Structure 1
Amino acid sequence: MSGTSEGPGPAPASVRPPVTERQTVGRTAAELHDYRAAFNTARLAMAVIDREGLVVTANDALAGLLGAPPAGLTRRTAADLVDLTADARTWHAYREVLGGRRAGFRCTRRIKHPDGHSLWAEVSVTPVPDSSQVLLSVADVSDRRELQAKLRHLQMHDPVTRLPNRSLFFERLSAALDPTARTVPGTGRIGLCYLDLDGFKAVNDTLGHGFGDRLLSIVAARLTHCADRAGYGRSSGHLVARLGGDEFALLVEDSTGTEQLADLAGSVLEALREPFDLSGHRLSMSASIGVVERLVAGTSATGLMQAADTTLYWAKADGKARWTLFDPERNAHRMTRQALSSTLRPAVESGEFMLEYQPLVGMADGALKGVEALVRWDHPQFGRLTPNRFIGLAEEDGSIVQLGGWVLRTACRQARQWQLDHPDRPPLFVSVNVAVRQVWDSDLVAEVAGILAETGLAPGLLQLELTESAVMGSAGRPLQALQALSDMGVQIAIDDFGTGYSNLAYLSRLPVSVLKLDGSFVRGFRYDEGTHPNPADEMIVEALVQLAHRLGLTVTAECVETSGQAARLRRIGCDTGQGYLYSRAVPAADIGAMIGPVPLQG
């Protein structure tokens, strides 16, 4: 023997005997025992499920969660235990995992315990590796859901009034307008009362924000009472929300029509008229309300709120302390104004404006003396527009300066062209309307001088018309501009004379050369259906004409429509006439045809 035994001990690695199959089986069994023990004692509720969806084994945590003994869960349908069949999407995902076509999925379900209480559970389903089974795990997330619900309530409610806030209001509004979100049939209509308090800022400024917040809380309570008393609380068809500041909204789902919304708005106004007692301060408040009611179909949240905001503005503009119903025609007019205002400046640059000319005729001989230039807008959307549709907007946004300059230059160029085309006829003067803002916002004197030099038109052939109210306020720069223009030889005319301040004193101190009598005087000269004209009308006009002549002014009568009117005006002494009797405003080519040896008859 070459050596002695050293007794038992581990063999060297190189000569360690191989692991026998029995040892492997023993180790696997031990591991499975450990896994099963961990599975059974785990705090996470779990179950092993076969490919048919039946429970193979469930642990104690799942049994406790579902209120059943573990053995009682075996061979039960897992989907029924945790309500995976409640909706098609969840059920489909679950079947995909069972069939090995999906790596797993997770969802949150509400599970009812046999003792009556409910809990929220997060359910996960994942395949067991190297097996035909899947593992179902169920975690109780009720506390987390409750915390989330509390946080959501804080996020979605106003801390001052405890009403739903803007976020919740728009969430609810969007759902009300979504046809896929409705589970029961309704009226297919929706209504909204959008209000704010009149004079609320004064309360904050004088009494402080603390008083303001208390006032808002009382208002919120009254609004809620109005909604509940109207019967909307019978279903989920109402929502009273504070949208911010002193703005509130009452949303009425399944509205029955405008009468229902009008009744609600009326009750709100009545409730808010009741005095508010705040720590010895007795306040009286009112509100303005915009009311919108329409079909759900075709209505968007943005469109509904824009209509409500517009209608609330109308209620304020109409005098406050009232409700106003949305009016599509009034809104169309407002939208048209906005559309026109936004495109005015580009329209001048793109050449969308054109001029027509209305003859000014000598009353004594019927001869064509001059023309008034009248601007028209060939709008690509609204067609041909007369000045009353856009001049006010142009004055508001300042584009009247640019537009007025174009009108002045075009009219002077055209008047000079007529003069060149008819050298044997007396030249026509051209009368151009000037807005007072043109005098203030531009160097009108320099502009007129430049245009006359550019076109070659004599200053005496240009007449500038200003309204009586504009001239009456002339002082400083406007007065200096009018005087400089007059000194240049340009004629200054007062348009619509007799409808403004009716203060004749300014005629002696302003460089005025022409009075244009407003058409209301001339219309009084008509015989309509056997009625006789009022002698006072003729006396007033005759007195104005005589006064103007004594001051060295000429007089133009506007709106002459009949030969009878023309005869009386001629007898009184009016110098020129303008109106449909002679001609409507016409293109420049038609005026050129009128310039000839045959005088116009009037």
Structure 2
Amino acid sequence: MEYADLVENSNDLIQVVGFDGQLLYVNQMWVDTLGYPRDEAYRMNFFNILHPDCHCRCGERVERLRTGESVPRFEVEFITRTGQKIVAEGSISLYREQGEARGIQGFFRDITLRKKTENALREREEQLRTIFESSVAGIAMLAPDGRFLQANPAFCNFLGYSENELKQMKITDVTHPDDIEDTLRRRQIARANRSQSIVCEKRYLRKDGSVFWAQLSSTWFFDPQGQPLYTVPVIQDITARKLAEERIRELAYYDGLTRLPNRQLLHDRLELALAQARRHDRQMALLFLDLDRFKGVNDTLGHAIGDRLLQIAAERLTACLRDNDTVARLGGDEFVILLADFKSSDNLPHVAGKILKALAQPFDLGVREVYISTSIGIALYPDDAEDAGELLRHADMAMYAAKEEGGNGFRFYSSEMNARAVARMDLESNLRRALDEKEFFIEYQPQIDLVSNRMAGLEALVRWRHPQLGVIPPAQFIPLAEETNLILPLGEWVMEQVFLQCCRWHANGLANRQVRVAINVSGRQFDQADFVEMVKRLLQQTGAKAHWFEFEITENVLMKDVQRTIATLRQIRELGIHVAIDDFGTGYSSLSCLKHLPLNRLKIDKSFIADIQTNADDRAIVSATIAMAKRLDLEVTAEGVETEGQYGFVYQRDCDEVQGFYFCRPLPADKVLDACRKHLDES
């Protein structure tokens, strides 16, 4: 009786089936689960309540039992009275009455819910597997020590390894050497803090050795005791973005021609170096470089050749320095070197000398070898300045001082240099204002014919009458006007005023005296493409005649580009204007070139005349110059004749004309006609 109650009230589905399939007994759980009342169930065949999806090998199992074999547990699918499917798991055995086998008894447990859960998990796992396999993001699983446990195709493709190859490796084996330390540090922090997620950018090394930039999101999984189980890194390719960012950074911080740091990056590094120098109470130095004669290379050989020279110069400068030094290009032919850490300022001349030597070597530019040099200015922190702007400005000033001494050298900054620079800036400001305020005026110095003793010509000399400083000598403001390009409007103004003044003189009696007027033409003016057209325009506007005038052009200007010079001089001569080579002997003329220039006159520089009575070399130079000019059919004027002895020497050498205080000081325009008449009467 107790056994019957146990069977009847069991949580298992219990049934007895005859060998013909007829249901002989079902317990209450069977009835409750499948929904068939007992009287109905006993009229049913077991095979009729199996679900169509069920592929039960019942006959085979029964035969095995009847032969004495055991049958393992298996699953079976029933169909309920309402048509639902029930999945059950259990076992069967022979049912005996009085020792004789009468059928099969089965004990089953309803596992429908469990099967649904398993199927759902299986589907979920399959979905995850599909995502894992087909994801465009690289996904892997790593052991706590960094060994690869799994890797999806995308991860493998990113790095160029197969999954089997990766399983033999650790994450550090595929990490860029420069990022290994950060990778290990992040993993240690994650383990110590039980961080579940890490997001960063890092570099990997592909199998072929190339660099792969990735956005990394790594998730850590821990057991209940907090021990790491594994990590799942997910990587996305950001190589193209990083290359674009690097390109943008290069454009923002590096010079496009030389690949050196530009002004912005130099400023950033200079500020950082200054902060470190203040913190550690140490010195630092700034070297400002400007290439000597670079403009000549650009003008004669073209900008492409000039650019190549700058690239080679940048390479040589970099080779002269240590890895922790900075060499930057500010623009043009200007470079700056930042020496943030040196033992003693006594070493700086050695560094500067090394740079001078490197840049003095010939530059092989393909079309020809070129020789240049450089001027270097040096400023120190904290001796010369305590902020970046002042330090850079003072190094620049020192560089200009080196250049004024002839270049190919270096100078340290000094306070006296700063005072001169401030004065120079004030002068430049006043010079710009003077043009607008019409503070310039012109005086004329007579040129005397040594044969007739008459006034043969006049040289127009521009003067500046400053309202506070008085008359400023040309030697102080003409070079500044050249540097700032103010010489162009000033030179045009001078030419226009001289043309107008000559028209007034000729209207008042100078026309019959054949007195020419010389006008100094600056190098900047002469180099202008429209120079000849400007002269034509002024002649037309003023009504002046070209044959009244002579242009004086210095030797160095004429020799800069001989072929272009010849072409321009011919145009000037065709207008009727004479041409004189001014300050002859102070430049670097080639006599073979000189004979081809369409000139009318040589003017011997006053520096040779000054010591002519005491200096044998000067006497020889003046004598040779006069003789050479005669051979070239050129007239000769000696400048700066101030004594009777100087006059007598050039007179005896058949010099054509003299100019200087011995005869007359420069005259204002309203005194010229009287001086001209005086020399006419005295002759």
Give the Cα–Cα distance (whole angstroms) in 1 for the partners of residues 539 and 377 of structure 2: 57
The structure whose Rg is larger is: 2
2:380 aligned partner: 290
Alignment of 1:276-355 (within 5 A): 288-290=378-380, 308-314=391-397, 324=412, 326-327=414-415, 329-355=416-442
TM superposition shift of 1:549: 2.3
Matched to 2:584, the amino acid is F
User: Deviation of residue 162 (structure 1)?
Assistant: 13
| Aligned twin of 2:46 | none
Q: What are the equivalent positions in structure 2 for 1:189-588 lying under 5 Å apart? A: 195-196=285-286, 211-212=323-324, 246=338, 268-270=344-346, 288-290=378-380, 308-314=391-397, 324=412, 326-327=414-415, 329-380=416-467, 382-423=469-510, 425-526=512-613, 534=616, 537-588=618-669
Instruction: Using CA pairs under 8 Å that are at least 6 residues apart, name the structure with larger relative contact order, 1 or 2.
Output: 1
Structure 1, residues 98-143: CA drift from partner, whole Å, max 9, x if none? xxxxxxxxxxxxxxxxxxxxxxxxxxxxxxxxxxxxxxxxxxxxxx
Q: Is the 8 A contact 2:554 2:584 kept in 1?
A: yes
Write the letter of the residue equivalent to 1:195. Answer: A
Asked if structure 2 preserves the Cα contact closer than 8 Å seen for 1:560 and 1:581, the reply is yes
What is the alpha-carbon distance in structure 2 between the residues aligned to residue 454 and residue 274 of structure 1?
59
Where does 1:138-177 land on structure 2 (aligned, <5 Å)?
166=275
SS in 1 for 2:539: helix
Once residues 349 and 607 of structure 2 are traced to their aligned partners in structure 1, the CA distance between those partners, rounded to angstroms, is 45
Q: Check the 8 A contact 1:290/1:326 in 2, yes or no.
A: no
Deviations 1:335-368 (A, max 9, x none): 2222333454443233121111111111123211
**Larger CA deviation: 372-381 vs 577-586:** 372-381
d(CA) in 2 for partners of 1:600, 1:567: 22
Structure 1 spans left out of the alignment, 5+ residues: 1-158, 173-190, 217-243, 250-265, 276-285, 295-300, 527-531
> For 1:365-420, what per-residue CA distance to the aligned partner results, in whole angstroms no more than 9, with x for missing partners?
32111111111222345432222222222222322221111111111211222222
Q: Tell me, what secondary structure is at the counterpart of 2:513?
A: coil
Name the CA distance, whole Å, in 2 between partners of 1:521 and 1:425.
Answer: 34
Kindly provide the amino acid, as one letter, of the partner of residue 439 in structure 2: E
Equivalences, count: 355
CA distance in 1, matches of 2:637, 2:486: 29
Separation of aligned partners in 2, 1:162 and 1:391: 38
Contact 1:460–1:491, Cα closer than 8 Å, also in 2: yes
SS of equivalent residue, structure 1 residue 525: coil
- Checking the alignment, whether the CA contact within 8 Å between 1:582 and 1:600 is kept in structure 2 is no
Label 1:208 to 1:476 Cα distance change in 2 as closer, same or farther (>3 A): closer
For residue 431 of structure 1, report the CA deviation from its aligned partner: 0.4
Compute the RMSD of aligned alpha carbons.
Answer: 4.5
Contact 2:546 2:577 in 1 (8 A): yes
1:589 and 2:670 equivalent?
A: yes
2:493 and 2:539 map into 1 onto residues whose CA distance is: 13
Contact map agreement 1:291 1:311 (CA 8 A) in 2? no
Contact 2:398 2:417 in 1 (8 A): no
Pair 198,426 (structure 1): closer, same or farther in 2 beyond 3 Å: closer
Measure how far apart 1:597 and its partner are: 4.6
For 2:426, the aligned partner's letter is: A
For 1:204 and 1:539, the matched residues in 2 are separated by 45
TM-score for both structures, normalised by structure 2: 0.45
Q: Which letter does structure 2 place at the counterpart of 1:290? A: L
Task: Please state how far the C-alpha of 1:311 moved relative to its aligned partner.
Answer: 3.8
Secondary structure of the corresponding residue to residue 418 of structure 1: helix
Distance 1:198 1:545, change over 3 A: closer
Matched to 2:607, the amino acid is S
Matching residue's letter, 2:478: I
Counterpart of 2:286 in structure 1: which amino acid? D
Q: CA deviation at 1:166?
A: 4.4
Deviation at 1:435, TM superposition (A): 1.4
Query: For each residue in 1:160-217, what CA deviation from the matched residue of structure 2 results, as whole angstroms up to 9, or x when unmatched?
Result: 9998964996xx9xxxxxxxxxxxxxxxxxx996623799x979967999x53xx79x
Q: CA deviation at 1:498?
A: 1.5
Query: For residues 203 and 495 of structure 1, what CA distance do their matches in structure 2 show?
Result: 39
Higher strand share: 2
The code of the aligned residue for 1:196 comes to L
Report the secondary structure of 1:595's partner residue: helix
> Aligned-pair distance for 1:596?
1.0
Which amino acid letter does the alignment assign opposite residue 503 of structure 2?
Answer: R
Q: Which residue type is aligned with residue 344 of structure 2?
A: V
3-state SS of paired residue (1:422): helix
Q: CA deviation at 1:444?
A: 1.8
8 Å CA contact retained: 1:289, 1:324: yes
1:46-82 C-alpha deviation (Å, 9 max, x unpaired): xxxxxxxxxxxxxxxxxxxxxxxxxxxxxxxxxxxxx
CA distance in 2, matches of 1:349, 1:269: 47
Match of 2:62 in 1: none
CA distance in 1, matches of 2:551, 2:537: 15
Shift of 1:520: 2.6
Query: Which amino acid is the alignment partner of residue 575 of structure 1?
Result: D
> TM-score, normalized by length of structure 1?
0.50
User: Secondary structure at 1:195's aligned position in 2?
Assistant: strand
Report if aligned partners of 1:357, 1:591 keep a CA contact under 8 Å in 2. Answer: yes
CA pair 478-208 structure 1, distance change in 2 beyond 3 A: closer
Whole-angstrom distance in 2 between the partners of 1:168 and 1:436: 45
